[in-house]
Amino acid sequence: MIKTRRLLVAGMTAALVAALGACSDGGDDLSANGSVAQQSQPAQQAQPSPEVVHGLRDTVRHVTRKTADATRAHLVRKCTSTTERVRHTSRSGSGTRKTTRVWYTTEHHETCKKVRQGTERYKRVVRRERWCVSLDDVNGHKSQDDVWYRVDRVTYDQVLQADQHTRVEFTPAGTGC
């Protein structure tokens, strides 16, 4: 029974991860000025990126971070103290001279838990900031054009300074944009 339940939960988790992974690449393609760009042909998806890629600089894209105001429960730590009367016994002696001594002490305990007390506002990140570079002739393959790579900010700045269709080489952080 337990093994069946574990297998069921593992299968559901795998299906959920696969579904979320398939949905994460979708979204709006933003141009450099932040507007939604309609592409006449779909960009080719790159294969899992190798250590270093090189190609001809095509396009760069900076996708800004997007946030939204949201509210969540405000949790505060609330503690209650309790006391407990504890009975102690001590036995001494042997045989008929055995005596038992009894005394009581009071022990103090404090239990704390987080309880909801109103709500608080915060900024929820809807879309993370990312920097992307599109290459032509990726790794010398003339057929691989318009392949997007996610890069860090420093690499983005370096590629941005390069002229159009010059050879650039970098280590991507991921594929797609």
For residue range 39-83, what is the model confidence (pLDDT) as tens digits?
444 455 555 545 888 888 888 899 999 999 999 999 999 999 999
Q: How many domains does the chain have?
A: 2
Are residues 139 and 54 part of one domain? yes
Q: Does 121 score more than 90 pLDDT?
A: yes
pTM: 0.47
Distance CA 162, CA 164 (A): 7
User: Residue 104 sits in which domain range?
Assistant: 71-122
Instruction: Give strand pairing partners of 125.
Output: 67
101, part of any domain: yes
Mean pLDDT of 97-110: 93
pLDDT category at 20 given cuts 50, 70, 90 is low
Taking only the tens place, the pLDDT of each residue in 150-175 is 999 998 998 888 888 888 888 888 88
Helix, strand, coil: what percent of the chain each, to 5?
A: 20, 50, 30
Are residues 86 and 55 part of one domain? no
Give the CA count within 13 Å in the CB-facing half-sphere of 64.
Answer: 8
Are residues 60 and 85 part of one domain? no
pLDDT category at 113 given cuts 50, 70, 90 is very high
Are residues 138 and 114 part of one domain? no
Are residues 45 and 29 part of one domain? yes
13, part of any domain: no
Are residues 52 and 133 part of one domain? yes
Q: In sequence order, what are the residues at sequence separation of 6 or more whose Cβ sits closer than 8 angstroms to the Cβ of residue 151?
A: 131, 132, 133, 159, 170, 172, 173
Are residues 146 and 110 part of one domain? no
Are residues 80 and 97 part of one domain? yes
Burial class from Cβ neighbours inside 10 Å (0-12, 13-18, 19+) for residue 109 reads exposed
Are residues 83 and 60 part of one domain? no
Are residues 75 and 59 part of one domain? no
Residue bearing tokens 């779909």: 42
108, part of any domain: yes
Averaged pLDDT score across all residues of the chain: 80
Are residues 77 and 34 part of one domain? no
Nearest CA among 60, 39, 75 for reference residue 164? 60
Are residues 133 and 59 part of one domain? yes
Q: Does 28 score more than 50 pLDDT?
A: no
pLDDT category at 29 given cuts 50, 70, 90 is very low
Mean pLDDT of 31-36: 40
pLDDT at 37: 39
18, part of any domain: no
